[in-house]
Amino acid sequence: MAQDDHHGHDAHQHDQSPQHGHQHGHGHDDPNFDWEAMADSLEVDGAMALPLVEAVVAELVAGGLDPAAVGHVMDVGCGPGVVTCALAGHLPAAAVTALDSAGQLLHRVRHRAASDGLHNRVATLEADLEHDLPGLAPADLVWASMVVHHVAQPVTTLQRLLQALHPGGTLVVVE
């Protein structure tokens, strides 16, 4: 897989221009950023992450997680919802909240969930993780994939994600 040598992760490339947002990102601070143009690339990234999602869920189950007991999953920075719907598929009793700051991407989440027959279990919420984590029901699992490196204060963000969990819940961070 291609690697971005500066950040050590696969996926799309990032420039370091001031307009790019947080010195790393996809133009999060630019209200005119065309998320629809980026969405196809993010869908490919999500599809490439599916084996990892399956492996992490399998590891959690091997560690004692009962998939039938997971009632709420929060996919933070969900993008177009590829991983969101995969999590819903692996955790059949869970309601999944897909949270992203880009409304255009959430439209894709809703479309994908409907196409996959998951529309009654997948909800979307437009919110900026860096400035507000809405008062959602506590989650049994919070999944944050390729999102923490986009925020200016990652430690504060991680603390907020931990606070969004039920006691004993699980935070998965993929960077």
Q: What is the pLDDT of residues 7-40, one digit of tens each?
A: 333 333 333 333 333 334 444 555 666 666 677 6
Q: Where are the alpha helices (DSSP H) in the chain?
A: 35-62, 82-90, 103-115, 154-163
The token pair that represents 72 in the structure block: 């709420």
Q: Which of the four pLDDT bands, split at 50, 70 and 90, describes residue 4?
A: very low
Residue 134: predicted pLDDT? 67
Q: Distance between CA 64 and CA 67 in Å, rounded?
A: 9
Residue 158 maps to a domain: yes
**C-alpha pair distances (Å), 40 with each of 12, 88, 113, 167:** 11, 21, 16, 36
Q: Is the dihedral of CA 110, 22, 25, 10 positive or negative?
A: negative
Average pLDDT, stretch 136-155?
A: 89
Question: In this structure, is residue 162 part of a structural domain?
Answer: yes
pLDDT in tens, 72-89: 999 999 999 999 999 999
44 has a pLDDT exceeding 80: no
Predicted local confidence at residue 29, as pLDDT: 54
Q: Is 16 exposed, middle or buried (0-12, 13-18, 19+ CB in 10 A)?
A: exposed
**117, part of any domain:** yes
**What average pLDDT does the structure give for the chain?**
81
- What CATH number has the domain bearing residue 47? 3.40.50.150
Which amino acid, 90?
A: H
Q: How many domains does the chain have?
A: 1
In a domain, 166, yes or no: yes
Question: 107 lies in which domain range?
Answer: 35-174
pLDDT reported for residue 32 = 66
State how far the Cα of 65 lies from the Cα of 125, in Å rounded to an integer.
26
Residue 53, token pair as written in the block: 């999602």
**Residue 79 falls within a domain, yes or no?**
yes
pLDDT at residue 60, rounded to an integer: 97
**For residue 145, is it within any domain?**
yes
The reply to whether 71 falls in a domain is yes
